[in-house]
Each structure stands twice: as structure tokens, then as C-alpha cells.
Amino acid sequence: MDVLEAILVALTGLWLFLPAMLPNSAAVVTGGGAPVDFGRSWKGRRILGDGKTWKGFFGGAVAGIILGLIQIAISSPFDAVDYWGFGPLWGSLGVLTALAVGSLLGDMLGSFIKRRLNLERGAKAPILDQYDFLIGAFLLTGLLFPGWVYAQYIEGGQILALAFLLFITPVLHRVVNVIGYKMGQKDVPW
């Protein structure tokens, strides 16, 4: 693989993962109201906490799916067969839905773990805060569309796309959260 090819693999991997990246930022904007755990506790601690709301979950999922549909629309004049990697239609719709929903489930699993570790809502949890959504997105998409995940992020040189995602995710996470904090959308810059 030459350098140009490697860059293309990395950037395509990021492009295909955008429907998993947007939902958590969108949830900050659409969130509020009833928490997913409806305020309930388990063993004296909140199950998920007030930072995980139904409006945030559905708003985030819809945002990620709409972004994916826009990406498919953008790619369709150029690649009406594979949509630049999302795969043939119908399957591609399933993939981007799994990416969006999986990322939000991963984010909730992260909060579940944080509450078990006795960390309050919004408390810093390095690694967990940056990677919970990525793990959730890969788990759900890998469960429902294992062939797609294998072909795009593992097989042969494609592992480079995964490596690039692991590298760029904490960087983007930081940048987006500082912007959200400055815009008054987030209480803390992480």
C-alpha cells in the first residue's frame, strides 16, 4: 500500500464512522427531560444518571441516521453500488442505523460503568469518556453486520482505518467538547 492509498483508507474509515460520531454531540443539543433510567437507582447509585435522557437518545439517533442518509446521497452519483463503502442499499441503511444506535448504547454503557465506580454525572473518566461510543458502535454493527466491519476495518490493510479511528477519536472528542463548552451547551469541557 502506498502513502496515497493509506490516506484514502484512513479517511474513508473516518467518513464511514461519522454516523457514529455525530449522535453524542447531537444528544447534548436535543437532550433534556426524562432520564433513561427514570431517576431509578441500583445499589444506592443511579443506574445511568441525569446525563442520559430519552430525548438525547432519540435526537442523537435521528441525527446520526440523517447524516448517514446525506452521506449516501452524496456518494450515490459517484458510486451507486457501494456508496463509498456503506455497502449496497438496504444493507447500508442497516449499517448506518447500527452505527448511530450502537454509539448511543455504548455511551449509556459508559455511564452505567461510571455510576458503578461511584463517579457523579459529568465526572471525568479517561478512556471510558472517549471510547465508550466507539466500542458500542463497533459491537452493535459487528454483531448485526460482521462482514461489513471485517471488510472495512480489519481485513488486510483496512486495519489502518481502525487504527486511525482509535487515534483521531480522542482528538475530535476533545475539540468538540471544548467547542460545546464555549457555546454553553456543555457544563464541562470533557
| Helix (H/G/I), strand (E/B), else coil: 103 | helix
- Residue 13 vs 106, nearer CB to ligand CTP: 106
**Closest alpha carbon to 96 in 52, 130, 131, 140:** 140
Do residues 161 and 152 lie in contact, with contact meaning Cβ atoms separated by under 8 Å?
Answer: yes
The identity of residue 16, as a single letter, is L
Tell me the C-alpha distance between 176 and 25, whole Å.
Answer: 8
- Residue 155 vs 187, nearer CB to ligand CTP: 187
Least CB distance to ligand CTP at residue 130 (A): 11
Give residue 182's Cα distance to chain centre.
22
Least CB distance to ligand CTP at residue 90 (A): 27
Where along the sequence are the contacts to ligand CTP (CB under 6 A)? 27-28, 31, 49, 51-53, 56-57, 104, 107, 111, 114, 121-123
- Residue 49 vs 87, nearer CB to ligand CTP: 49
- Residue 114 vs 164, nearer CB to ligand CTP: 114
